[in-house]
Each structure stands twice: as C-alpha cells, then as structure tokens.
Amino acid sequence: MMKSMTFIQLLKINKFCRPALIRPFSDNNSDQPHPIKRTLKLLRNDMRKVKTFFTPFFEKRHEGVEKNVESSNRMDDKEFQTHCDVLIIGGEGVGSAAAYWLKKKARQGLNVVVIEKDFAHLNTRNCLTLPMGGLRQQFLLPENIEMALYGAEFMRNAKEELGVDIKFDPHGFLTLASAENAETLKTMSKIQNEFGAHTEILTPERLKVKFPWLNLEDVAIGCQGLEKHGWFDSANLLLGLRSKAMEYGAHFIQSELIDFKFQNQPDVVIEGESTTSTYNALQKAIVKMPNGEIRSIKFSICVLAAGTSSEKIAKLAKIGTSSGILQIPLPIIQRNNYAYMFNSDDINASGLGTPCVVDLNGLYFRRDGLTGNYITGFSTSTDTKNGLSENNFETKVLPSLMQRIKMLKKPKVIDAWEYSYEYNVFDENGIIGPHAYYNNLYIASGFSGLGLQQSPAVGRAISELIIDAQFRTIDLSRLAFDRIIVDRPIFEHAFM
C-alpha cells in the first residue's frame, strides 16, 4: 500500500516536479507563449481578480446561497416530527432566530420544530436575498433602539457564533429632516444616545462640509449614526441562524400549515370571557407536505412567526373570526415595495465612506461597492397595483434623486426588483409575546420591514418567555398583543 505523505513532503515533490515559471523563447519551441504575451495574460488575470474583489457582494453570492439553501432544506420523511415541545410557524429571520435561541439554551431539553411553506424562496429574488439588510438605531422607542443595538452586537460576533460572514458594511446612516421635523430628530438623537446608540446632529453647515455632493436647500438638520450603523448580507444571516439551529438539533420541515386542531379544557377559565363559554386550547397543527400528503404535529407551545402570512394563520386559530377576545384580529397585512440598482459615475461621493442617506420623503440610497452602483427606493410603500418597471424609477424615484444628489447625467437602471414585507397596520411595531386568549401561543410578527435586523433580539426574547416565563434582557412588555385589545398603540417616529 502507498503510504500517506506529509504536507511538507508533498511540497518538496511539487518543488521539483512543477515546470519553471519562465522558459526562454525560441523559434524552435513555437508551442511556448512569447514572454510579452505571457505577461499580458498574467495582467489580465490580475485585473479580473481586482474586479471580482470590488464587485458588490450582491452580484457574487447567489450561486453559493442557492447551494446552501438546497442542501440545508433537504428533509427526509423519517425526520418528520409528529410531536414536539415548541412548534414555530415560519422559517425566515424571526422564526429561525427563535429556533436558534431555544436550542442554544435548552439543547436536548426541548424538541423544536420549524415549519415553512417554501424554503426554496431564498433561491428567488426577495428582500432576504437582495442587499436590503439595513442595520440602524435611529428610532424613538427605547425597545427598538435596544433591539437594534443587540442586533449590531450579535452581527459583530456572527462569524464566531454562527460560522458565517454577514459582510457587515459599517458605513452608517444619514437621516435628513426639514424644519418641520427638526425638533423630533433632535429628540430622537438624544434618546438614542441615552440608550447607547451613538448618533450625531449635524447642522446644514456641517453637512455641506462632510457631504458636498448633497443638495441641502430644503434640509434643516441631519442625524448621522457614528457606529453600529450600516448594512449586511441578509441571506448569510438567515442561513447562519438556520444552520446553527439545525446543528443544535432543531427540525426544519417544509410544509404548509392548513389548519389547527383544538382541545377542550373545561377547567380553564379566561378572565373577561363569558362564563358559559369553554376554553379550547391549540393542540395540533395540520400541515400539507410538498407531495400533497396531510400530516399533523402535536405541540405544547406554538410560536407564530409567519411574516406576511401571520394574519391568515391567526384566522385558522380563530383569531379575528370568533367572539370575545378572539374577535380581535391580528392587524398584519402584506405590503409591496420596490427597489432599484442604478449605475452612475456622476456622483462625487466619498467612496466606501458614503452612508445610506434617508431623505425627507422616505427615499433612501446608498453605494453598493466601488463600481459606481447604487441601491435606492422608498422606505415604505402602499403601492399594490402598479407592477415593477423602469418607468416607476423614472416617475417616482429619479425626480427625488436628481433633486438630492448633484448629478448632471441621468443614471442607468441596471437592476430592479419587487419585494414584500409584513406590516402592522395598528402602530407599525412588532407584536411580541403571548396571545391574550391562548396560553400556549406566542406571537412574533408585524415588524414592518425591521424583522431581520431585530430577529436576533426577538428570537432571544421569545426563548426567554418560553424557558424563563419572563423577559430577562430587554423588557418588551409594551409590544405585547394586549396593547391591541386595549387600543393603546405605540407609534414609532423612525424616518425609515
């Protein structure tokens, strides 16, 4: 048998066996390239490497993401769990984070199952695979500031904790405000700094010095995040959370929840409900497998983290369709939004140090790499009728861009996409905590476009409620479903 060789021995063999890098050129050896041609070839290879390095990560990552998604979502029938301790409905950011935290804390102490209708949606172009992952702390509510701060800390250690590189670009956010909103922005910055989010108020004079390429005629004040503000690779964060949760023992099953089964518990009395009504607890989830087979999963606790499908699933649990507390619906709808990538060498911005700029009307734009590409769109949208087209860019986005950025030439749209996100129509903030009627149903939904950056904190909070029966790190009690019952909205005044 051939003995195995050490790495050093292989190096020695390679040293003597490999051909010389440069051979003398002669007319009798016509199969060898001319030294000048060989040099040009090497230079072309080097330039390709430089181009690859500076190409925005959005253009480079899809092939690897698709392979990771395909392999991580391949489930065998023998792994199907008919019973579990915690069933999580929704396998995107918040659901995967909840599974990650539950299994990290409890390991074999809890059997955690995550069901998702379509894991393969990561292979399509949506807000989870596109460069939309913004990280910022420019909020008014302390809860949102603290969740964002923790998200930044979690992402800083993502390489060590999750084993993935989320490619965080710490180039900050710059929020612009008119005279009407100037005092609000100052108040927000003060609260942010009190909670540890470092933001700085900039006068128009200072804005002109730092960002001479901006038109500031209608700007009264600006607020810039000094640290822990930027953007990240959304798909890598999601895949990291999911992969680590699976490594800890969580089961991810591709299936669609189509119904619930209930268990009558006459010994349970819900305060405020009619004394004649009996309590029916959630007991089983009825799911449809990709092959059309119908199965059931019996659970002790259910976490609703289904994003845009949350309201539909809540109705299956009779939330919003029954009487008493159950007549109050889960106020979450799906919103569509649009984003564009354009190219311009006419913007005199300061390279990679350019922050993501949030304009007065909600328009945002930021650089994507060093190749002259920019990403832009509006932070919120209620447009559900008009399809995505370049015309939307020219009629809605471009006028605001041309007004804000000193461009002489019209930029070229090189990519465009439509994406959707969950939106809480009650007060635009996430709903986190137990449902007021079901003692075994926890809600983690309605984050109105902030779900991915808040997912590490929300997942941890859900794990605390289930394992410790209380919030231990960030008190998110004000974001519970109860505020909807008593009609006490908690509005956020974020500019994006």
- Residue 47 has what pLDDT? 62
CA distance 224 to 198: 9
Domain assignment present for 454: yes
Say how many domains are in the chain.
2
CA distance 398 to 416: 13
- Residue 22 has what pLDDT? 34
Q: Are 98 and 225 part of one and the same domain?
A: no
- Residue 93 has what pLDDT? 94
Q: Are 174 and 128 part of one and the same domain?
A: no
Domain assignment present for 35: no
Q: Are 111 and 64 part of one and the same domain?
A: yes
- Residue 132 has what pLDDT? 57
Structure tokens given for 420: 């959707």
- Please answer whether residues 216 and 138 qualify as being in contact, where contact means their C-beta atoms are separated by less than 8 angstroms: no
Domain end among 421, 445, 467 = 421
CA distance 90 to 261: 18
- Please answer whether residues 374 and 431 qualify as being in contact, where contact means their C-beta atoms are separated by less than 8 angstroms: no
Q: Are 342 and 376 part of one and the same domain?
A: yes
Q: Are 253 and 310 part of one and the same domain?
A: yes
Full domain range(s) for residue 173: 167-229+334-421
Least confident of 146-160, 163-177, 184-198, 259-273: 259-273
CA distance 171 to 347: 17
Q: What is the pLDDT of residues 100-137, one digit of tens each?
A: 999 999 999 999 999 999 875 544 444 444 555 788 99
Q: Are 316 and 253 part of one and the same domain?
A: yes
Task: Return the SS3 of 173.
Answer: strand
For residues 151-174, average pLDDT: 90
Flag whether pLDDT at 454 surpasses 90: yes
Q: Are 324 and 242 part of one and the same domain?
A: yes
Domain end among 421, 446, 472 = 421
Higher-confidence position of 420 and 240: 240
Higher-confidence position of 12 and 327: 327
Q: 3-state SS of 122-134?
A: HHCCCCCCCCCEE
Q: Calculate ∠ Cα 24-29-33, nearest 5°.
A: 65
Flag whether pLDDT at 422 surpasses 80: yes
Q: CA nearest 397: which of 363, 445, 448?
A: 363
- Residue 19 has what pLDDT? 36
Flag whether pLDDT at 468 surpasses 50: yes
For residues 336-364, average pLDDT: 82
- Please answer whether residues 496 and 447 qualify as being in contact, where contact means their C-beta atoms are separated by less than 8 angstroms: no
Q: What is the pLDDT of residues 180-198, one digit of tens each?
A: 999 999 999 999 999 999 9
- Residue 25 has what pLDDT? 37
For residues 238-247, average pLDDT: 95
For residues 419-431, average pLDDT: 92
Domain end among 389, 421, 453 = 421
Q: Are 410 and 432 part of one and the same domain?
A: no
CA distance 425 to 446: 9
Least confident of 15-24, 159-168, 199-208: 15-24
For residues 203-224, average pLDDT: 94
- Hey, how many other C-beta atoms are within 10 angstroms of the C-beta on 389? 13
**218: CATH:** 3.30.9.10
Q: What is the pLDDT of residues 221-232, one digit of tens each?
A: 999 998 888 888
Integer Rg of the chain from CA: 27
Strands 83-89, 112-116: pairing kind: parallel
Task: Return the SS3 of 406.
Answer: coil
Q: CA nearest 90: which of 382, 452, 482, 469?
A: 452
- Residue 488 has what pLDDT? 96
- pLDDT bracket for residue 11 (50, 70, 90): very low
Give the DSSP letter of residue 198.
-
Q: CA nearest 334: which of 384, 374, 376?
A: 384
CA distance 454 to 93: 9
CA distance 465 to 463: 5
Domain assignment present for 41: no
- Residue 219 has what pLDDT? 96
Flag whether pLDDT at 244 surpasses 90: yes
Chain-centroid distance of CA 155 in Å reads 12
Q: Are 408 and 429 part of one and the same domain?
A: no
